[in-house]
Amino acid sequence: MTHEFKTPISTISLAGEVLSDESIEKTPASVEKYLKIIKDENKRLAGLVENVLQAAVLDKGQMKFKVQECDIHQIINDVIQSLNLQIQNKGAVITTELNAQRYSLFADRMHLGNIIYNLIDNALKYSKETPQIKISTYSDQGGISISFQDNGIGIRKEDQKKIFETFYRVPTGNIHTVKGFGLGLSYVKAVVEKHTGHVEVESEPGVGSTFLVYLPFINTLT
Amino acid sequence: MTATPEEKTKILLAEDDESLGLLLKDFLTAKGFEVQLCNNGKKAFDAFSKGTFNLCVLDIMMPEKDGFTVAKEIRILNKHIPIIFLTAKSMKEDIIEGFNKGADDYITKPFNTEELLLRIHAVMRRVKPAGDDKEEFQIGLYHFNYKSLALEFKGKHEKLTTKEAELLKLLCIHSNNVLDRNFALKAIWQNDSYFNSRSMDVYITKLRKYLKEDPNVQIINIHGKGFKLYIEKE
């Protein structure tokens, strides 16, 4: 985790030193470039702090929920839309099979949007060259299931339970490809469980992963 | 390879964070270094294999190949090039592993630029062979000024090329001792290929010609080893 904090701190510090070092020649364009780096890294740092604070709130069970009627299919489509740039950059193909007959439930829209975002974002990040992601929904009498299937790097059996723990990251030695510090899936689990649901994963290294989220129509929030 | 006075110290910089890499490159360039930035370990090692560098500054946690592996592979190709790790990994065991992989120094993020520069200069000073800072040499009746590329004999001045001066300086540092052929080739030509070896022989011939006026000075071939600048003491 320290790596994620130390890099933006070093960058902001270095940009400040370069800007104030009179022996380094600067043009208006280079000053603008360094100021933009400071702003961007500050934003990145603020996001990291926010994540850690959110983890503390999760840990204490103090997360706030605003319950309203939510259209799950609409949320899925909105999240895909918001990830459009990442999808294009990765050359990913996302298909949806939104077959749930009943797809409306009382829940916190923002948190549901966030967990769907986290699961699609992970599928994009932990992928091979061309991510193929399939999002499906189906419903039964009790609730709605949302499945996120990818053809990514997969997760070893021994890591499959641990990935939902706060700050857990699958060990990769010193190979550092995906930034983050292991909060996304613990957040997903906490939000789903607050909605009286559950989340599980099936995965095979080198083949891909499927995350399954089940949300009952009647939950403790309502 | 030691930079000549005309050459900038060339740094291989491996840093996967785009903004930090860009800033470090700008900063070190502004401080007089020539910097090649690579955004992952694999690219860094490829660049090292193909290019010529005086110093490597490596992050550890990188995509494709981590900094420890890059350092280990660099050490197989080059035992002497200084390597500095610049990393967020600050645990004692990481630092020990860094030095075990052949690092000359280990700097943790966040770092201070003044300290970074001082450490780079300190490492570069340590890597220079004894006598490397010396710029003037007496070779029998000849006086050789490395910095001004001048060889003087009884008021007659010969202007040397940079490579001639580099080679003569190495011979002077090792005077009356054997200058290893491969060491000289790597120090001046960056590798000891057959082509460079023949090129060095041409330079030795030229230096012999410049030094022929003093019978007490000779460049002797030491078969299978290299050359000796023999200066007979009066």
What ipTM goes with this model?
0.71
Same-domain check for residues B180 and B156:
yes
Give residue B157's domain range. 136-231
Task: State the CATH number of the domain containing residue B178.
Answer: 1.10.10.10
From the list A10, A17, A173, the residue facing B20 with the nearest CB is: A10
For residue A38, give every residue at least 6 positions away whose Cβ sits within 8 Å of its Cβ, in sequence order, or none: A12, A15, A16
Residue B163: which of B194, B112, B212, B201 has the closest Cα? B201
A chain contacts of residue B93, beta-carbon cutoff 8 Å? none
B4 part of a folded domain: no
Q: Where are the domains of chain A?
A: 2-60, 67-216
A67-216 under CATH 3.30.1360.180, yes or no:
no
Say if residue B36 is in the same domain as residue B121: yes
Domain boundary among B77, B98, B127: B127
Q: Which of B93, B127, B161 is the last residue of a domain?
A: B127
Residues 6+ apart with CB under 8 A from A81: none
Q: Pick the residue from chain B with its C-alpha nearest to A25.
A: B30
Q: Identify whether residues B194 and B152 lie together within a single domain.
A: yes
Q: Which residues contact B94 (CB under 8 A, 6 or more apart)?
A: B60, B87
Q: Answer yes or no: is B2 within a domain.
A: no
Tens of pLDDT, residues B104-130: 999 999 999 999 999 999 999 887 655
Residues A55 and A183 sit within 8 Å (Cβ to Cβ): yes
Residue B73, in any domain of the structure:
yes
| B95 and B34 fall within a common domain | yes
- From chain B, pick out residues whose CB is under 8 angstroms from the CB of A13: 110
What pTM was computed for the model? 0.66
Is B19 in the A-facing interface, judged by CB distances under 8 Å?
A: yes
- What pLDDT is stored for residue B5 in this prediction? 40
Q: State whether B90 and B198 are in the same domain.
A: no
Nearest of A218, A217, A219 to residue A195 by alpha carbon:
A219
User: Scanning the structure block, which residue is given the tokens 């059996």?
Assistant: A157
Tokens of A111: 């948190």
Among candidates B24, B61, B112 on the partner chain, residue whose Cβ is nearest the Cβ of A174: B61
By Cβ distance, the residue of A6, A15, A173 closest to B23 is A15
Q: Is the pLDDT of residue B197 over 70?
A: yes
Residues whose CB falls within 8 Å of the CB of residue B104, separated by 6 or more in sequence, listed in order: B82, B83, B84, B123, B126, B127
Asked if B199 and B91 sit in the same domain, the reply is no
Contacting B with CB below 8 Å, chain A residues are 2-3, 6-7, 9-11, 13-15, 17-18, 21, 23-25, 30, 34, 37, 40-41, 173-177
Of B100, B127, B154, the position where a domain reaches its end is: B127
Domain count, chain B: 2
Kindly provide the b/e burial profile for residues A124-139, where b requires at least 16 CB atoms within 10 angstroms of the residue's own CB: bbbbeeebbbbbbbeb
In the beta sheet, which residues pair with residue B14? B38, B58
Q: Looking up tokens 């490492």, which residue turns up?
A: B123
Instruction: For residues B20 and B114, state if they share a domain.
Output: yes
Asked if the structure places residue B1 within a domain, the reply is no
Structural tokens at position B54: 């005086």
Mean pLDDT for B40-64 is 91
pLDDT band at B184 (very low <50, low <70, confident <90, very high): confident
- Any A CB within 8 A of B30 CB: yes
Residue B206: inside a domain, yes or no? Answer: yes
B3 within a domain of the structure (yes/no): no
Query: Exposed (0-12), middle (13-18) or buried (19+): which is B192, by Cβ within 10 Å?
Result: middle
**Co-location of B26 and B121 in the same domain:** yes
Q: Which residues contact B150 (CB under 8 A, 6 or more apart)?
A: B144, B157, B158, B159, B160
Assigned domain for B165 exists: yes
B27 contacts in chain A (CB < 8 Å)? 14, 17-18, 24
pLDDT attached to residue B2: 39
- Encode chain A (222 residues) as per-residue pLDDT tens digits: 577 889 899 999 999 999 999 888 899 999 999 999 999 999 988 888 888 888 788 778 788 889 999 999 999 999 999 999 889 988 999 999 999 999 999 999 999 999 999 999 999 988 878 899 999 999 999 999 999 999 998 999 999 989 998 877 777 777 777 777 778 899 999 999 999 999 999 999 999 999 999 999 988 876
* pLDDT range class, residue B1, cuts 50, 70, 90: very low
Nearest Cα of chain B lies from the Cα of A134 at a distance, in angstroms, of 27
- For the domain that residue B61 is a member of, what is the CATH number? 3.40.50.2300
Nearest C-alpha of chain B: how many angstroms from A84?
22
Cβ-based neighbours of B219, under 8 Å, separated by 6 or more: B171, B204, B207, B208, B211, B227, B228, B229, B230
